[in-house]
């Protein structure tokens, strides 16, 4: 697909995950603070998963593959 750079897209997701980790908490408390923290955790997980994917592009179909197996011990 012309103009699609999947490696660059995945890199942006990796960068977003890092940005979420570095995100400062706004000056809120109570339920709002907890909601913000929960959303940040979900954002980090989502961006990390997509950012770590491998990909193939076959017959016009982009497939992202995410391996959830633990790393092999050497």
**CA 16 vs CA 3, 50, 72: distances in Å:** 21, 10, 27
**Domain count of the fold of the chain:** 1
Spell out the residues 6+ positions from residue 30 whose beta carbon is closer than 8 angstroms to its own: none
Q: What is the pLDDT of residues 27-57, one digit of tens each?
A: 778 888 888 889 999 999 999 999 999 999 9
* 12: in domain: yes
Q: What is the pLDDT of residues 4-32, one digit of tens each?
A: 899 999 999 999 999 998 888 777 788 88
* 72: in domain: no
What is the model's pTM? 0.76
Q: Which domain holds residue 57?
A: 6-65
């Amino acid at each position: 697909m012309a103009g699609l750079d999947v490696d660059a897209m995945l890199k942006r997701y990796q960068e977003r995950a890092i940005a979420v980790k570095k995100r400062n908490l706004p000056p809120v408390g109570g339920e709002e603070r907890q909601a913000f923290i929960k959303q940040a955790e979900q954002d980090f997980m989502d961006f990390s998963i997509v950012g770590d994917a491998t990909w193939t592009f076959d017959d016009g179909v982009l497939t992202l593959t995410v391996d959830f197996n633990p790393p092999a011990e050497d």
